[in-house]
Amino acid sequence: MYKNTAILTISSILFLSSCDKNNNDNTIINEFPTQTVVINNPIIDHLFTADPAGLVHNETVYIYTGHDEQVYGTNGFLMKDWHIFSSKNMVDWKDHGAAMSVSTFSWAKADAWAGQCVEKAGRFYWYVPMAHKTIGWFGIGVAVSDTPTGPFVDAKGAALITDKTPNSIELNIDPTVFVDDDGKAYLYWGGWGYCRMVKLKENMIELDGDVVDVPGLSGFTEAPWLHKKKGIYYLSYASGFPEKISYATSSSPLGPWTYKGVVNDLVKNSPTNHQSIIEFKNQAYFIYHNGGLYSGGEFRRSVCIDSLFYNLDGTIKQVKQTTKGVGKVL
Ligand code: FUB
């Protein structure tokens, strides 16, 4: 299904009934030009979507999202599957459906929370956290596919990270994986104020070394996202609660990280604030969620996109959240 841009047309129509010599027949004169108000945010309006993770591949933007199904007025996340959306112009989004669910992973029992899909050597690896059936609370799994839209299958048959992984944390959620230009991959994740990092082996489904702490992320809550631009590594993350999105930078994917400030302020109608940052056709985009859809809220969130801009020194300008969103990129 494609979501079309909502367009409101405001025509100011003026009835002139004066009886001057030139216009004495009550002609309707449209005195002002038609004004068009474009509403692209939220980008998906046929279901509630959260925790967006963008991926650019073959001139197409893919967004991997969680799916909020909680009943209006009821508390707690109800999330059973993930959807994939794609677009070639950042405005018309195709829903590829519930491409993966908790049942994809035999070891998981509930809570399809925030994940990310990355490409390496022509294969697509989708890292996701879920409540584990037998070990602690959350574990992080990885599924693999030969295409960005699936089908995805559990790549390991077991969780990659659990509460039993040495130096893991109480809430092993929100994995982000970054594949550097040299092909080396890094997994960051974190929840409830703790962030962890581990290198991944060439096969993308095994840990390569010890899990280490990630200091330097002021106010860290959850939702790390690692990206790189012009040799600078950026680690953005949700900070505080209700959450803003802050970021730190480094000259290495391993850190150390230097705190730089806030990228995104609080969002409408949702205390969580989960981001991804991508570049498509020479423009950077900030993909996030809010509770902005009709009947939306903390447990009924919606994905939005706004443009992101860098300063000349590489720092990031704070995002301007809009309902207009971004226009068609052709
Ligand atoms: O969607 C469930 C959880 O809420 C995510 O894992 C967090 O990042 C927050 O968005």
What's the average model confidence in pLDDT over 3-9?
Answer: 49
Contacts of 21 (CB under 8 A, 6+ apart): none
Q: Which CATH number applies to 46-308?
A: 2.115.10.20
Q: How far is CA 253 from CA 184, 188, 271, in A?
A: 10, 10, 29
Question: Which amino acid is it at 25?
Answer: D
Place of tokens 């959850």: 222
pLDDT at 330: 87
Per-residue pLDDT at 2 exceeds 60: no
Buried b (16+ CB within 10 A) or exposed e, 228-257: eeeeebbbbbbbeeebbbbbbbbeebebeb
- With contact defined as beta carbons under 8 Å apart, do 248 and 232 qualify? no
Buried b (16+ CB within 10 A) or exposed e, 282-296: eeebbbbbbbbbeeb
Percentage of the chain lying above the pLDDT 70 cut: 90
Residues with CB under 6 A from ligand 1: 50-51, 66, 77, 113-114, 173-174, 222-223, 272, 274
Ligand 1 center to residue 281 CA distance, Å?
Answer: 29
**Sign of the torsion formed by the C-alpha atoms of 314, 320, 322 and 324:** negative
Q: Ligand 1, atom 4: nearest CA belongs to which residue?
A: 272
Question: Which amino acid is it at 290?
Answer: N
pLDDT at 33: 65
pTM reported for the whole predicted model: 0.92
Q: Which of 80, 111, 113, 220 to mutate to test the pocket of ligand 1 (most atoms within 8 A of CB)?
A: 113
Confidence of residue 37 (pLDDT cuts 50, 70, 90): confident
Per-residue pLDDT at 56 exceeds 70: yes
Per-residue pLDDT at 17 exceeds 80: no
Per-residue pLDDT at 6 exceeds 70: no
What's the average model confidence in pLDDT over 29-38?
Answer: 70
pLDDT at 246: 98
Which pLDDT tens digit goes with each residue over 255-287?
999 999 999 999 999 999 999 999 999 999 999
Question: Which sequence spans correspond to the domains of the chain?
Answer: 46-308
Which pLDDT tens digit goes with each residue over 143-202?
999 999 999 999 999 999 999 999 999 899 999 999 999 999 999 999 999 999 999 999
Q: Which atom of ligand 1 is nearest to the CA of 273?
A: 10
